[in-house]
Amino acid sequence: MPWKNDQVSEAETERIIDLAKKCLEVNGDFVELGCYKGDTSLLLEDVLRDSGKKLWIYDSFEGLPEKGVEDESELGRDFQKGVLGVTKREVKERFLRAGLPVPVIKKAWFSELKDDDLPKEIVFAFLDGDLYESIKDSLRLVGDRVVPGGVILVHDYNNPALPGVARAVDEWMRGRTWVKQEGVTESLVVIRKCEKN
C-alpha cells in the first residue's frame, strides 16, 4: 500500500479495502464525502482501477465547518472551524503523481450539494465529515441512492472527540429497517443496504 493515511487506522483501512473489493461485484459507483488530503480516495481509486466504476469525491476544501452543540466534547477541542483544510488542486495533483485517474471532484459544503451532483446508483459510500451536521447531510444525500447490497461506511462513529457522528448515524438509522449495522472496526461503522420492505 503506497499511500499512508494519518486519519484512518491500519485496521480501518484494511476493512475499507476489503469492502471496496467486494462492492466491485455490485452495480453502482463509489463516493467519498470528506476526503481531506485524498488518502482514502487514492486507495479507492486503486481498487477501482479497470473496473469501469467511477469514484466521486466531495469536500469543502476549507476545513471543518463550525461545530454544533451535538459535537461538543472536551476531547474534541482540536477540531475547530478551518482545521483539516487542503486545496482541491493538492488532492488532484496527488492522483496525477500516483498515476491514477483523477476522480470526479466536487468542491462544496455537503449541505449545498444537489441531487444531480451525485451518481444515481451508489454501491460504496465512505463518509468522513467529522461533525453531526456533515454526517447528517451525507446520509441524507447517499441513503436512498445506495443499491441493495451496497455499503455506507462512517468514520469516527465511536470517536469520543467527535460525538456528533454517532448521534447523526443513530438518528438516521432509527426506523429504517432496510439498513443493517454490520459492526464497528475501531471508529469505522459499516451499514449494509438491504431490500426495502
- pLDDT by 10-residue block (mean), the chain, 197 residues: 66 94 96 93 94 96 78 70 76 94 95 94 95 95 95 94 93 92 92 80
pTM equals 0.91
With 0-12 CB in 10 A as exposed, 13-18 as middle and 19+ as buried, what is 81? exposed
Amino acid at 114: K
**What pLDDT score does 84 carry?**
61
Strands (E) located in 10-145: 29-33, 55-59, 104-107, 122-127
Cβ neighbours of residue 47 closer than 8 Å, sequence gap 6 or more:
17, 20, 21, 24
For residue 16, what pLDDT is reported? 95
| Domains of the chain by start residue, with CATH | 10-193 (3.40.50.150)
For residue 3, give the nearest of 50, 51, 36, 52 by alpha carbon: 36
Rounded to the nearest 10 degrees, how much is the dihedral formed by the CA atoms of 116, 22, 96, 125?
30
pLDDT at position 86 is 83
Amino acid 1: pLDDT? 46
Cβ contact 25:52 at 8 Å: no
Distance, in Å, from the CA atom of 79 to the CA atom of 131, rounded to the nearest integer, reads 9
